[in-house]
Structure formats: C-alpha cells, structure tokens
Amino acid sequence: MPMHALTNQNFTEDTNLERGLGLPSAVSIVISRIIGSGIFRTPGPIMALVGSTLLFGSVWIIGAVITIFAAVCYAELVAMMPRSGGPYVYLKEAYGPLIAFLRGWAMFFVSETGAIAAVALVFAEYTQASFVISSGIYLSHSVVVAVALLIIVFHTIINCFGVKLSGVVQIVISSSKVIALGYIIMACFAKNGNVANFYTPLLPEHFTFTHFLGIGAALRYAFFAFSGWEGATYVAEEVKNPRKNLPLSLLIGIVCVLILYMGANAAYLFQVPAAEFAVSKSIAVDALQRALGAAGALMVAYAVMVNTFGNVGTQVMVKARTWHAMAQDKLFFSWCAIVHEKYKTPNNAIILQGLWACVLVMFASLYKNSYEAVIDYFSATGTIFNILTLASVIVLRRKYPDVVRPFKTWGYPVTVILVVVFYIIYLSVTLITAFIPSLLGIVLTSTGLIYYWFKIKYA
C-alpha cells in the first residue's frame, strides 16, 4: 500500500463532526433528497418527448437501472472514504484538487443552490394553489417569492442546531413523503380509470432517429427526478458505522423510491390518456382530479407541499457539507471550515448556502420556466462530473489497490464501464438537444478557474 494511503485522512473515520445519524436517518436522507418536485413535474415532459407508453416506461426503467449501477459505484467509494462532501472527496483523491474544486464551484454558485431555489419556488407555487383551491384567494407574486425565501431560511436555521435534530426531522419528512405519494397512488387506482391507457399508443408508428434523441432528452428529466440519491454521502462524517450504513442507505433508499415512482407513473397513466398526459404541466393534479374531483387537486397541492418542503430541508442539510469540506482544503472561503463549538455543525457553510439560495430565488422568480432551466443548463456539466466520479472507482482501484474496501462494486469493472459509456452517450444527446444551455453551464463552471488561480497564487 502506498505510504500516502496510510497517512491519508480520507481513508479513516476520524472527524471533528458528531456521528449522530443512524441507518434510519441515512435512508430517510436518501428518500427525502430524491423525492421532491420531480415526480410531480417531469412525467408530462417525458411523455411529450417520447410519445408512447412503452418508451415512457422504458425511460423510467433505464433511469432507475443506471441510477442503481451508479449507486453501487458510490457505495464502494463512500465505504472506502467515509468523508463528508460526497463526490468532491472522490474527485479530489482520484484527479487532484482542481477537478474537485470546479465541481464544487459549479454546485455552489448555480446547480445545487439553484436546485434549492427551484424547489423552494415550487413549494411556494403550490402553497398559492392550495389557497386558490380552498378559498379562492390569490397570493401576489411577491408573497409567493417571500414564501420561497422563508422556507429556505427556516431549514437553514433548523440545520444549525445539530445533526441529531436534523436527523429526526428527516425521518419525519421522509415518512410524510412516502405516505403522501402512497395516497396519490392508491387514490388513482381506487377510482375508475382506463387500462387501455397503458398501451395507447404502445409504440410510435415509425421509430426514427428523432425518437432516439427524444429518449435521450427525456432521460434528462428522469435523471433529475432520481437525482439526489447520493445525498447521504455528503454527511458521511456524521453517520454512525458509515462503512456499513452508507452503502445500505443508498441501496434501500433508491429501491424504495423506484417502487414509489413506478407506482405513481402507473397511477397517473391509469387516469390520464397519453395524449393528454403529454401536454400536462401538473400531471398529478390532473390524475387526482379525475379520481377524486375538485378535492383531488387540493390533495395533490398538499402532497407536493409536503414533498418539496422536505426536499429543501434535505438539500440544505447535505449540500453545505461540500462547502465545508472545500474550505477545510483551503479551496473555498476559509470561514466555511469552522464547526460550531456546541452543535458540531458547519454553520457558516450552511448560512452562506442559505443566503446564496435566497439570492437565486430572487433571480429565478423573474423567469417563467426557472425549474426546467435549472435542469437544462446544468445537465451537461453535472453529467461530466458524474462520469469522472464513476470512473474514479477504476482510477482509485489502480491508485490504491490495497486500501480496505468494505463494499465492492458489483460486477466490476463491467458495470462501471457500462454506466460510464451510457453517461457519455447521454452527454452527447444532451449537448445536441440542449446545446446553448449546456454550453452556458460549462462556461459558467469554467469561471471557477479564475478564482482557483488567484487562490493558489496568493495562498
């Protein structure tokens, strides 16, 4: 074993944070981080892009299978290096600090804090919808924005008071999400639907290259709906028995969400035919309105509020650990490395993240399709870093062949190669179908080189 591996803290469980999260909390983080607004917003655009029920189901199955393959790669990495910060740590160890820094830069300034802002706005929009449905009261645009800001501030404050409190909140939130989504599924199947919707149309009349591009574009939204499954790896230093519990939490959480997602999509399709499904902006509302009438829309509004409320909280909790890890490596604002003396949480990183997310809410509120824009602008950038992270399993096997790996990737190296090749194909399709947004995302990420150069030069 190389001497560097023997002395590298990344391979130990030493930490100045508190290990207050058990397996239930870690699983709850995975579930709560994945289930947000995606399952309520992305099915319609996916159906519009593929135009048939079999391709629609295939997109979700492909997304799930690739997600599971990616998760077993992450499971090996996090069991080997149970350090907070998730992919940032793996990229730094495999490729050096520059690549890891650029991912963190892109995450902080737009993609990840932007996702917090986007989901907070969805919560606020459905809060408005619930008022309209229940009382006919329309909230002004400024009030909707204020609600989005308040939800970010609330979760930022909660997460500053210790990881044990945050862990309890995550269990409550994830349980509420499962109940809410489960209710929607049961309600849709309990009322008269149409089984013929499942195979009308089953396939396009003529399969062309356009349909291939449509599947690739649709996967962008499916992956977004599944995104966040790696959430527990960000808080690795605060999980008890991390080498065992973190791999378990990834696999248990993803399988639970997969079952719920397949059930939800089947429930939607049981109520809404494909042609109407494809033009729906709020498929859950349309499906439950058919099943329960006007009361169904209110139920969906509440369900989305529960899910987005919890998703914002989980994002606030886990993502701040990356800025903390970067600051410890002197690659981010140094005061983000400080841990609160009493609560053992990186409060400076949490607060800075909350402030920037609030700024992005203000900007995002100026645009009509801010939610979809977040997906389009950073799918390519995120995929590039995903490819590098997954490939780091191979890089680190070669770099540190003798380091203890409590969990090993199933079917290595075939599974790693397959998932990397798939993501490369997916990246190519993304660049074709969303070239300008992808290019802008890559350019914005590259601006981090300026900060990095000055940081290294004047360190």
Return all residues near 170 (Cβ < 8 A) that are at least 6 apart: 25, 28, 29, 32, 310, 313, 314, 317
Which of 314, 375, 387 is closest to 70 using CA atoms?
Answer: 387
Predicted model pTM: 0.82
* 21-457 CATH pick, 1.20.1740.10, 3.40.50.150, 1.20.120.1200, 3.40.109.10: 1.20.1740.10
Question: What is the pLDDT, as a whole number, of residue 447?
Answer: 87
Which residue ranges make up each domain of the chain?
Answer: 21-457
CA distances from 244 to 19, 66, 68, 79 (A): 14, 22, 17, 7
Return all residues near 420 (Cβ < 8 A) that are at least 6 apart: 387, 390, 391
Contact 36, 198 (CB under 8 A): no
Question: What is the pLDDT, as a whole number, of residue 6?
Answer: 44
Report d(CA 432, CA 143) in Å as an integer.
38
Question: What is the pLDDT, as a whole number, of residue 455?
Answer: 73
pLDDT along the chain (459 residues), means of 10: 55 80 88 83 89 92 90 92 88 92 86 84 85 83 91 93 78 84 90 88 79 84 85 86 90 91 94 89 83 81 85 88 88 88 90 92 72 68 90 95 90 92 87 84 86 74
Question: What is the pLDDT, as a whole number, of residue 8?
Answer: 66
Mapped onto helix, strand or coil, the DSSP state of residue 401 is coil
